[in-house]
Structure 1
């Protein structure tokens, strides 16, 4: 009844990336979710942050469970179960007014969403071009996030305070439709290399997972409060939303790097540049007094770097382990960073002063730079003999 697309068709990459994104879609427009919860819905700022954090930790649990499911059940069956449940829970949020019930309800949403994300990561990792797969995922995340943040005020006027939850449910239902056009990937695995998870995680895998966690932690800490930072800089609230949406579009360019270039020119130089730009972004935001020019420039640097760095690091995890289990584990540690970043940031805030949080984020970015260097370089040597000989020639003692 439905025509299946080829596993190597660009639409297959797009559909799978969108389905993976839909699991925890709220992260893409997190400031809008927090504003809705702490605004017309009626929760306090602190309660809104805690609700979002519980949603994130539910996603962490779901992604963890996915690690043990990816090789024990068909991924399509799991998605056909989790996506409808996610849509029902997101829609049911409209009738919940009690804070304690909301905490549990959003944790449950995170659980099913995390399952979708973990399973989706493992499937993306088994596609032939992991750089394109994860680049497409980040491309969708940033484009959709910018679009939703820009249009959310209009949606709220049309649908009410819970408009953002209607959108989440809509993304889950749209993902179900996309599932109908996807082929089975049961026999389309990449050649399985030695799985680092079947015995034990080797040192490079651990360093890479720590780097992913560190980057997500620092980036999400800034992302959570980027709106408040703009208001503190004296920018009008409407202009803050517009600035976030417009600079967020630069994430499209960052996400396009791995989609276009893949691994043809290596990944190490790209990720080093991206993390360095992220450090500069955090430091620019900490300048006092913060001018609108510095504010917009810093957001542009971060939003350009974020998708490129993450997609390249995720592609490295896919190359390290052809079974997809390491990529599912990468989804878990990514959730750890995304859920912990807002909590860490809130603990470092001072009255009207974001400097401590921003300096801490810059230091975490710097730690990420040291963590990723060895595993990314080692994988480039293993995958590209030309780059390997180049590294060797550069490390020989001069005669």
Structure 2
């Protein structure tokens, strides 16, 4: 969805912090899915296949809520929904802590996902409308990586004190501390001078193409990330060694914001997204090679590239659509890909003889990104030519 209406507005520092920090914390549910996944398995003594149901429910609800936000912006009270999102996220963690049956856990993880999706969609959409918010969107993925890295470092030691549910205690406390900050988000409808166009009138080729690009890339990259531990073990690492690689990769991704902002200032088009997808395709192919050194290099570089793609896509979406709708939808596309990808892989691929098929799947999805990217580049080229006539 896009619009030529300039919907930017001035925001205070506290409002910017609210719109940036809360969705970045909520994004731990996506980037940090291995620790919540493990927490569910250990707490309820279930198989990974069963735990996938709960994780999928949470991620699917994140995608659903984020995408819905792109449609209701300007219609409902944004601050109220934002506060509700944090409250639902807290309720989902508390419900998981109190649950004594796995079917209840699925419901509570879905509830948490709805809250997290509201936070992600509303927060990033608000940044797209804030003057100077595009640059802040460039920092969003790096901050999400930093928060996720902190979770990877903090949660394991807490197991000795809080048990297997340490990750859910950590998330509950985190959201509770962030709840007062949610009230700082302005209700845009009260301060905005320009009325947002109807969602159906905001759909454009560029917004749809960007959504598709983020979706395809997410289907490939996030599916490979889901098998991070298994691929690492194939390369000769134990669980602790895989954790070290993941932690280093997240640490390196903290510096994505510097790279993303500099590249965006220079290009402000879809070309860097094309390059990122092609490079991720290369890393996808090498990722499944059973070699310790390759695993280290690719694990770090692929994580950095994907976090960069997320950051740049959010900045680009803010540039082509100041209503924030495309930014919210693009964030939802990332989560939606994390639901669709593992389902496709589970149904179609066999890993009895290694993970070569997984690598091929990752390459295919990144190459599919070139189709919507071509529409983005052609549309931009035509716009530039028209401006010079």
Query: 1:211 aligned to 210, 213, 217, which one?
Result: 213
- Aligned partner of 1:110 in structure 2 is 113
Q: Indicate if the aligned counterparts of 1:317 and 1:326 stay in contact, CA closer than 8 A.
A: yes
- In structure 2, the CA distance between the partners of 1:333 and 1:232, relative to structure 1 (3 Å rule), is same
Range with greater deviation from structure 2 (228-237 or 327-336): 327-336
**Displacement, 1:123?**
0.8
- Aligned partner of 1:179 in structure 2 is 182
Counterpart CA distance in 2 for 1:246 and 1:351 is 29
**Displacement, 1:40?**
4.2
Q: Indicate if the aligned counterparts of 1:258 and 1:308 stay in contact, CA closer than 8 A.
A: yes
1:141 is aligned to 2:144: yes
- In structure 2, the CA distance between the partners of 1:372 and 1:188, relative to structure 1 (3 Å rule), is farther
For residues 54-81 of structure 1, what are the alpha-carbon distances to aligned partners after superposition, in whole Å with 9 as ceiling and x for unaligned? Answer: 1111223322432343212221121122
**Displacement, 1:135?**
1.6
For residues 101-149 of structure 1, what are the alpha-carbon distances to aligned partners after superposition, in whole Å with 9 as ceiling and x for unaligned? Answer: 2222212221222222222232121122343132221111111112212
Q: Indicate if the aligned counterparts of 2:36 and 2:167 stay in contact, CA closer than 8 A.
A: yes
Aligned length: 379
RMSD (Å) for aligned C-alpha atoms: 2.8
- Aligned partner of 1:21 in structure 2 is 24
Counterpart CA distance in 1 for 2:184 and 2:133 is 20
Counterpart CA distance in 2 for 1:198 and 1:121 is 20
Q: Indicate if the aligned counterparts of 1:204 and 1:374 stay in contact, CA closer than 8 A.
A: yes
Counterpart CA distance in 1 for 2:82 and 2:228 is 33
- Aligned partner of 1:295 in structure 2 is 295
- Aligned partner of 2:127 in structure 1 is 124
Q: Which has the higher contact order (CA 8 A, sep 6+)?
A: 2
Counterpart CA distance in 1 for 2:26 and 2:78 is 14
Structure 1 residues 194-233: aligned runs within 5 Å: 197-199=199-201, 201-233=203-235
- In structure 2, the CA distance between the partners of 1:187 and 1:132, relative to structure 1 (3 Å rule), is farther
Secondary structure of 1:266 counterpart: coil
Secondary structure of 1:131 counterpart: helix
Query: What TM-score do you get using the length of structure 2 for normalisation?
Result: 0.87
Structure 1 residues 156-175: aligned runs within 5 Å: 156-175=159-178
Counterpart CA distance in 1 for 2:158 and 2:378 is 46
- Aligned partner of 1:328 in structure 2 is 328
**Displacement, 1:186?**
4.6
- Aligned partner of 1:7 in structure 2 is 11
Unaligned runs of 5+ in 1: 1-5, 393-399
**Displacement, 1:38?**
1.9
Counterpart CA distance in 1 for 2:317 and 2:359 is 28
